[in-house]
Chains A and B, each alone.
Chain A
Amino acid sequence: MIIDHPLLGPRDAQEFVILGDASLIDRPDWQAEDAAQQFHDYQHLRDNPAGEHRELWFHEQGDRSWLVVTRSTLTHEVLKVELARDVAIARGRNR
């Protein structure tokens, strides 16, 4: 599997480690009334789609950047690669 890194170009998946569902970016507010329930859902409830899936990948043997990789779990085709930093900022995070 080749991941087309936004800064470095195509790199072999061997250089990366996968963390999991990209929803991990949306960490709940720990001060919310129902924080315990929100963190339960955040930690344990994941979609497991057969098809398009957004995942966090870490370029450990490379430039150490976190990426959001959209790929098909059926074909392993990589559809889109973004820097996780850009995704987080676009979702209103400060970094």
Chain B
Amino acid sequence: MAEFALKARAPLDGYARTFGTISLAEEAGLSLVSAAVPQGGDDALAAALAAGLGAARPATGDSALCDRYGARLLGMQPDQMFILFEAPDPDRAAETVGDALGPAAYVTDQSDSWAMLRIAGAGARAALERICMLDLDAAAFPEGRVARTVMEHLAVIILRDGTDRFLLMSPRSSARSFLHAVEVSIGNTAG
């Protein structure tokens, strides 16, 4: 019988392009794990986060950096957060978080469901302003803020992790359409 080997393929095939001062590139090496809080388990989760990941739980809309794994906790909604990190073994990202938090959270690996785009450089905010309804001014959306919203009718999670740096996550199934929307918006604003 023939031997088959499966190879991992990034949602946007490792897309990377520069538009003047703006760079737009797929972020393919990160794992994303959701952690839901059992009902009434807020205190247990706070303790597990401090012990297991070395972090405090971020409020909804905020993020927090962890001492372990260089992970970032994203406060997505009142009873759920996402953990964004470079997993030592990407095939066991949920287990890694599960081992760190124990029964204090229900974890699910979401890495393969999302396409991640990094947009950076002077003009990145101006390009996003055309498609993002949120106020991305540094006063309203400072570094470390995260939000789930819509751009061009597509669901997007936007994280600001630098003055001119944003991480955009959109469902893998519509990743190409999302990439097109961002490319067009950059083309409309740059130069």
Chain A interface residues toward B at CB < 8 A: 7-9, 11-12, 14-15, 61-65, 83, 85, 95
Q: A7-B60, A63-B78, A95-B39 are in contact. List 15 more A-B contacts (CB 8 A).
A: A7-B61, A7-B78, A8-B61, A11-B134, A11-B149, A14-B133, A14-B150, A15-B149, A15-B150, A61-B149, A61-B155, A63-B76, A63-B77, A65-B78, A85-B78
Question: How far does the Cβ of B94 sit from chain A's closest Cβ, in whole Å?
Answer: 20
Q: How far is the CA of A18 from the CA of B11 in the complex (A)?
A: 33
The complex places the Cα of A83 from the Cα of B78 at a distance, in Å, of 11
How many of chain B's residues touch chain A, expressed as a range? 10 to 19
Q: How far is the CB of B82 from chain A (nearest CB, A)?
A: 12
B148 at the binding interface (Cβ < 8 Å)? yes
Q: Which residues of B contact A63 (CB under 8 A)?
A: 60-61, 76-78, 148
Flag whether B147 is at the interface (Cβ < 8 A).
yes
Q: Mark B70-87, 1 if CB is under 8 A from A, else 0.
A: 000000111010000000
List, in ascending order, chain B residues with CB within 8 A of A14's CB: 133, 150
Alpha-carbon gap, A34 to B147, bound state (A): 46
In whole angstroms, what is the CA distance A86 to B39 when docked?
Answer: 15
Assess whether A12 is in contact with B61, with CB atoms less than 8 Å apart. Answer: no
Query: Is A62 within 8 A of B148, CB to CB?
Result: yes
Cβ-neighbour of B149 out of A62, A83, A85 (below 8 A): A62
Q: In the assembly, what is the distance between CA of A11 and CA of B134, in Å?
A: 7
